[in-house]
Chain A
């Protein structure tokens, strides 16, 4: 198949890709707009309107599951909440007695007065459909926040089960709270939308157009959000929560935002759904609906906007068009060959069976879905791959980075910090000073507490005592993302990049805390936001240029495909992008060959030359000797030596820690096992 599409695409190859996409989108939009004109069948228009409604739901779930990686199995609950919000406020369900309280609402057209069944006058709620859309979105989003606040801290599979429980509770509540919802019998007489004095009634065409406008708006919002600071934060959380926090992403807030946005999409869609049906019953929103929408985005491609639309439309048309057609053919074939079972089989009953099979087959054989969210980037050309390595850094001028005068003022002061894991003391009353503009190295055998030291400084591990001051400000007890905001950025020993994001996107996530774009400006994209985004890209490119032509040609590639050394470089670039005042590097040269090690050491030296303060964990002593002003040696969680690199190398305690207690004895000639660390 790919060869066929390639052959089709060949005549258009001269047209830039962005143009081709615009043209394809335009053609699709035109076809959608003209459909009711050239195809007058009401039932088919209604089927397509339903398909667009499911596409809107799928787009909302895609933000939660696809972008942010939160598996929500009770998504239909928000659909229900939106639907009932509008349904109750636009039907005869609630009829409180009329009083002067309602007069202002009457002025606004939200209610009317009508004669009661027994005596006097009662209130008839007449919320307009057009007001119902935003109101239901807000109510559903509010419920999303209320439900998400306690639960979004849970790990992925627990969250799935909690959302499943929520998805069960909501329809049960609507079923049982009959005074509000008319129970299982459902709301009746939900008002149809009215536009310019004309009611939509039961004609499918106007609903179709509203659904098309809604789904277009949600597609647009999905793309705008995805390609913004917001979307990058969501994807960072999905890829690696710890790294996202260390890069300044407030996980709880952004998960809530994703949850609320998805819920809002569902709430709005709920209004359209029941306005079209003019009734709402609780079983329209049961678990199978949540699963169906999940199947749609899995089928289309988790995290892919067009995938969500394609998955929803194709599966929804499968139900309403293709299965009935197929049933007709199979039945005809059955009658022809005289097989009674075939002649009577109704395939549309097995649609859920087909959904289940699709779900399993997609997971086993094509997890990226029909339209994958990530496409393999174009491979580097032969010239790019074999280009002479340029090291960058001749005259390095990074605007606004470093510049800490080497005055001897204290940048970071760690005082008496103790960390215990159960009975194990990982750090015991550790004191470390990092002067502004200096490079301090921490060395020590494996398990001596070096990485724990980094984790406690960056807020990943709570301390059992002590104090950590950064430029005279206590940072112990702050959250990881707040510590990044203060100006401390780090890399990880085991490299924690966001694997499916590109090099550029990784570095842009690093700037998260330095940018201010919110959800609304991400969608509207006013000039200020455009400038900010362009500035962020320029700064990212400037940082990538530190590593010469190592990363720049690969900026558009997913980091999972990079070499080990390039991933280390990307991680350093990501940390630098946050404009830190103090950079923590956890074994930056681990796994690099001697030439690469030397190159990186020079680059770190260049950063030092810019006046950036660096705290470094490193095993390679020649790197430490080249870079560090001061070396601290940790062993069993205690500082056993500090001083200039050459002093520390001669220190007996250090030798003993590195070579084992028997080493000196062995050196003295006695027999016995020699432990070499």
Chain B
């Protein structure tokens, strides 16, 4: 392959990864924007999303890559799987908030963040025990179509990802910008106290943020499975940390920033895997995380991190 076709191929890969990271990063940003909480549980909500999708697809009788659907059945199965996965993960997120985080809402210090680490650990280990630490083959109903573009290959999976992720992100953006609850979310992010006094039901806003963020993480988990054709209890940590880096890169709390940050991290991962070495990709990404936090904590696109005094 020539350099330019390699570059194009890695750009295609990077955009696909980036779309997944962006979905995951949005959840971090939504919850951080409202509660100023780094939600470690999000890592493994994503992981569970991939398993929910796996079980739903298996429920449709699919297994591995052997059974391929086309036309309306394909669309129906995919829509159903996305809907169930996102709904399930959204409810899981709401449950996590309701049971473990709401009692700590007014506790200062790291208690809430430590709790999310604990929740994340619980989710991780439950799946580990259920799956006996096995890597699972992820059912893929898509026909194995691919196209040659300028020496690089684009698969149907990638086209699907590029279709689904922007629709979900635009939907979220429209919700936050246009809807009444979205306005309440933005108000709460600015000043929870004032929002409460103006009649915003903060509990409802927080629940909505957890539902939406976790639902997007679920979609991200399903995309992970479709893209890599496998899933495992292990996938949450690395993907979650990369997505968190994406959120920080875009300016945590900033919704469009998380999308752009996700794409950037996906591209960085793809390029550094190709042109440097795969095993150093994480070192590069986490070094970016450290550097951005130290030198530009408000991220590339502003919104100065709110300071809790």
A interface list, Cβ under 8 A from B = 69, 71, 73, 150-151, 153-158, 160-162, 164-166, 168-169, 172-173, 175-176, 287, 291, 294-295, 298, 349-350, 352-353, 355-360, 363-364, 367
A359 touches B307 (CB 8 A): no
Cβ–Cβ contact A350 & B125, under 8 A: yes
Collect the chain A residues with CB atoms within 8 Å of residue B115's CB: 359-360, 363-364
Q: Which of B111, B117, B305 contacts A294 (CB 8 A)?
A: B117
Beyond A356-B118, A356-B124, 9 additional pairs, beta carbon < 8 A: A155-B307, A157-B36, A160-B110, A161-B293, A165-B241, A168-B282, A287-B237, A295-B118, A356-B125
- A554 to B269 Cα, complex, angstroms: 59
Chain A positions within 8 Å of B126 at CB level = 353
Query: Which of B36, B112, B115, B307 counts the most A-chain CB atoms under 10 A from its CB?
Result: B115
4 A-B pairs with least C-beta separation: A359-B118, A356-B121, A353-B125, A165-B286
Contact digits for B114-149, partner A, Cβ 8 Å, 1 yes 0 no: 110111111011101100000000000000000000
23 CB < 8 A contacts A-B: A71-B114, A151-B293, A157-B37, A157-B113, A158-B293, A160-B38, A165-B289, A166-B290, A168-B241, A172-B283, A173-B283, A176-B277, A176-B283, A352-B125, A353-B121, A359-B114, A359-B117, A359-B118, A360-B115, A360-B118, A360-B119, A364-B104, A367-B111
In the assembled complex, how far is the CB of residue B110 from the closest CB belonging to chain A, in whole angstroms? 5
Across the interface, B294 reaches (CB within 8 A) one of A154, A156, A172, namely A154
On chain A, the residues within 8 Å of B128 by CB distance are 349, 352
Minimum C-beta distance from A604 to chain B (A):
28
Most chain B CB within 10 A, of A176, A298, A353, is at A353
In the complex formed, the residue of A with least CB distance to B38 is A157
Is B297 touching A158 in the complex (CB atoms < 8 A)? yes
Query: In the complex, what residues of A have CB within 8 A of residue B244's CB?
Result: 161
Chain B residues contacting A153 (CB-CB under 8 Å) are 294
Whether A156 contacts B125 by the Cβ 8 Å rule is: no
Contacts of B248 in A (CB 8 A): 161
A350 touches B129 (CB 8 A): yes
Given A151-B293, A359-B114, the answer on whether A352 and B124 have CB atoms closer than 8 Å is yes
Residues from chain B with Cβ under 8 Å of A287 in the complex: 237
Judging by beta carbons under 8 Å apart, are A356 and B129 in contact?
no
Indicate whether A151 sits within 8 Å of B114 (C-beta atoms), given known contacts A287-B237, A360-B100, A364-B104.
Answer: no
In the bound assembly, the distance between CA atoms of A360 and B120 in angstroms comes to 10
Chain A hits for B287, CB < 8 A: 165, 169
Main secondary structure of the interface of A (DSSP, over half): helix
Question: Is the CB–CB distance between B119 and A356 below 8 Å?
Answer: yes
A162 to B245 alpha-carbon distance, docked (Å):
10
Interface size for chain B: under 10, 10 to 19, 20 to 34, or 35 or more residues?
35 or more
Tell which of A162, A356, A367 touches B122, judged by Cβ atoms closer than 8 Å. A356
Instruction: Give Cα distance in the complex from A157 to B252, angstroms.
Output: 12
Chain A residues near B103 (CB-CB < 8 A): 364
Distance to closest chain A CB from B144 (angstroms): 34
Q: Which B residues lie within 8 Å of A359 (CB)?
A: 114-115, 117-118, 121
Q: When chains A and B are docked, how far (Å) is the Cα of A367 from the Cα of B286?
A: 31
- List the B side residues contacting A162 at CB < 8 Å: 289-290, 293-294
Identify whether the interface residues of B are mostly helix, strand, loop, or mixed.
helix
Let me know if B104 and A168 touch, CB within 8 A.
no
Is there a chain A Cβ closer than 8 Å to B107's Cβ?
yes
Chain B residues lying within 8 Å of A363, measured Cβ to Cβ, are: 100, 104, 111-112, 114-115, 118
* Cβ of A256 to closest chain B Cβ, rounded Å: 15
Beyond A160-B110, A165-B241, whether A154 also contacts B293 by CB under 8 A is: yes
Enumerate chain B residues within 8 angstroms of A173, measured Cβ to Cβ.
Answer: 283
Is residue B228 within 8 Å, beta carbon to beta carbon, of the partner chain?
no
- Is B280 a contact of A176 with CB atoms below 8 Å? yes
**Whole-angstrom distance between the Cβ of A189 and the nearest chain B Cβ:** 25
Q: How far is the CB of B217 from chain A (nearest CB, A)?
A: 17
B113 touches A364 (CB 8 A): no
The winner among A160, A172, A356, A363 for most chain B CB atoms within 10 A is A363
Complex alpha-carbon distance, A295 and B37, angstroms: 19
- Expressed in whole angstroms, the Cα–Cα distance for A367 and B103 within the complex equals 12
Q: How far is the CA of A349 from the CA of B127 in the complex (A)?
A: 12
**Shortest distance from the beta carbon of B214 to any chain A beta carbon, whole Å:** 17
Q: Are B241 and A164 in contact (CB under 8 A)?
A: yes
* Residue ID in chain A nearest B252 by CB atoms: A158
A154, B38: Cα distance in complex, Å? 14
Distance between Cα atoms of A54 and B150 in the complex (Å): 56
- Nearest chain B CB to A196's CB is how many angstroms away? 43
Chain B residue at smallest Cβ distance from A364 = B103
Q: Which of B118, B283, B307 contacts A169 (CB 8 A)?
A: B283
Measured between C-beta atoms, what is the minimum distance from A500 to chain B in Å? 11
Q: How far is the CB of A289 from chain B (nearest CB, A)?
A: 13
Give A354's nearest chain B residue, CB to CB.
B125
Bound Cα distance A150, B128 (Å): 37
How many Å lie between the Cα of A26 and that of B103 in the bound state?
41
> CA of A355 to CA of B307 in the docked complex: distance in angstroms?
31
Q: Which of B118, B237, B244, B293 has the most CB of A within 10 A?
A: B118
Closest beta carbon of chain B to A364's beta carbon, Å: 6
Chain B neighbourhood of A156, CB < 8 A: 109-110
Q: A640 to nearest B CB, angstroms?
A: 30
Give A494's nearest chain B residue, CB to CB: B309
Establish whether residues A349 and B129, one from each chain, have CB atoms under 8 Å apart when the complex forms. yes
Report B87-103 residues with CB < 8 Å from chain A CB.
Answer: 100, 103
Q: Which residues of B contact A160 (CB under 8 A)?
A: 38, 110, 113
**Bound: A291/B244 CA distance, A:** 18
A106–B261 alpha-carbon span in the complex (Å): 53
A359 to B118, CA, bound (A): 5
Residue of A nearest to B132 (CB): A349
Q: Which residue of A lies closest to B121 (CB)?
A: A356
Contacts of B283 in A (CB 8 A): 169, 172-173, 176
Chain B's nearest CB lies how many Å from the CB of A161? Answer: 6
- In the bound assembly, the distance between CA atoms of A71 and B120 in angstroms comes to 17
Closest to A157 in B: B38
Of the listed residues B121, B124, B297, the one surrounded by the most CB atoms of chain A closer than 10 A to its CB is: B121
Q: Which residues of A contact B129 (CB under 8 A)?
A: 349-350, 353
CB distance from B160 to the nearest CB of A (A): 31
Residues in B neighbouring A164, C-beta threshold 8 A: 241
List, in ascending order, chain B residues with CB within 8 A of A150's CB. Answer: 290, 294
